[in-house]
Structure 1
Amino acid sequence: MSELRFDGRVAIVTGAGRGMGRAFALLLASRGASVVVNDLKSDSGELRSAADDVVEEIKASGGEAVASYGSVITAEGAESIVKTAIDSFGRVDILINNAGVSNWTPFEDIGYEEFERNRSVHYDGPWRVTRAAWPFMRQQKYGRILFITSHVGTAGARNVAHYGSAKWASAGMARMLSFEGGDADIRSNALGVLGYTRLLTDTFFTPDGAEAPSMDNIAGEEEWWKANFSTDKVAPVAAWLVHEKCHLNGEILDTGGGHTFHLFFSATEGFVKPDLTLEDVDENMPKILDASRTNVFSSVEAALNNRLGKLQAAGVKPVNAR
């Protein structure tokens, strides 16, 4: 098995000062990529950012890296992150939208400010950074973009409506961009992740995390999670999704603890009746929900053509029929 490398590639990893982002940055750098390690400076008044520590770690191992302190939630910050890549390395080939925040709050207690904060970091932020990097990727006719979503967001959980919905939105962005970058070999995918990070330590394993699902109902103690769900087990999947060998576009993978799977949407065969009534819907709901036969559509055109075909078979004339 030949080693997959990133020699000559320039990667941006947002939120890379610790946790998942740090693991992504270290792996890419160890395989030859020049990495822009993005993270905010400390809000305690210190001039240093966790990004500086990761840069030093990469350089100590013989890699190339530079720190970026821009915030993903402002246009100026997003543009500065990409500018750091261009000024330092002359191009940007890889973007991993990883920066995130989290907390557990019942829906009725989530204020708009907290909802907006999650949306700004997990959806607006990736949009801004991706938008800033996109022209450079199109010009060089190459790019790999990864949106880090969440196992919590994709599988669902209580008390994270603000966080989970924003994470779902970022996965949707990956899908939409897949239809616009293909002609320039820009591939965009999403990755749901589950790992031992601050999301676990600050919620699952502390008294303040009482609103989070109980780990006692899942498996093991904190040390078990630390050993078996390290971020190092997530990084290889993220790295493959931003490698030139990645042939996926607009897809969602999910990984954690060494287990990786593909998430996709499928549609049931459903029920067809052109003069549909409310009572028809009620009576035929078992057919509408029957998952014994399903379809996976590659685009809205494929889904629409499937629907038009069924309507035509039920007696609806084609649009150009005389």
Structure 2
Amino acid sequence: MKNCKVMLKFLLFFCGCSLAYAQPDPRDSIILESKTVSPGVGSPATSVRVWITNKDTLGAVSLLLQEKSLSGDAYMTLSWPRSFSGVVTTLTTTLTNYQTFFGGKYNSSSPDSFSLAGLFDPQNKLATIEPPNTSRKAFWEIKFDSVRSNAGQIELDTARIFENYSSFAGYKGTNVKVNFVKGIITVPDITPPSVTVTIPNGGEYASKTCPPFTIEWNATDNVGITGVEIRLDRTNNGDFEEQIANLSGNPGSYDWTPTGQNSTSAKIKVIATDAAGNVGSDVSNGTFTIGNNCYQKPAVGFDANKDGVLSLIDAVLLLSAVHAETNDGTTNKEYIKSLLNAIFSGSP
């Protein structure tokens, strides 16, 4: 039993030492930049900086990365095939013998992986080895061709490709595991909401004595609308000095009880805001009236369906409107008679 206990203690000690030995030295690290970038394309659209720290002299640095969309549809792309210099801007004169960028597993869809490697130049060893760095040293910048326009976050983390992994190699060629600090790339939402005012859009009558008057709009956004503000311009001067409502979300309509001064040249402005603070808006195409009547009698011969022709269809539409807007649910017979006379004879 005593021998078993001794053996158990030895195994625990040995396993503990093995596990401790397997951990990378804290002085050896590869650090990827975390940043916010704008969507777009270019040469490059964006660059991600790579820093290193190393306790010993290096003969090679291997960087194997996986790119993954964390949220939204954010993604950065690299065209393939590419040379090493087409992907990386070197920020040091060391390890100048570069392997070709390997993008065989890179197809511009999440998740994706690729590898980069820089080695010492055997023709000029002393000038191109990487000396020890106790503080982080700017080493490379990875150049991406495009940043997908939809908002979200992208993760750049270490990866295993064909059983290889991100590592250092000492001057004599011994591989050294590294601590890896992944990069988080944030692509902000810069797309404003799209807004269209549908009612009022010209010719409507908003009654102060027989409310409500329903304001309607269509609004969309690539991420989501968080709030809508409705403003009123009574004089069609473009100021929209009066706030009618400030609404959460995007209800699409609002029942308004008009107050204040009457107007024959009013317009409505709907302003939508998304979660990123982007703002989109639209204004009534034409003016509408604010008044005291319970309904507005259209001009005789009013073209209700706006097809340029007076017809029975216009009569039906106009009669329906009159019936719906009277207080007691009845229609004005004399008014209806004048509308029909106008449609069939062209005069009251």
TM-score between both structures, scaled by the size of structure 1: 0.24
Q: Which has the higher helix share?
A: 1
Larger Rg: 2
The higher relative CO (CA closer than 8 Å, separation ≥ 6) is in 2
More strand per residue: 2
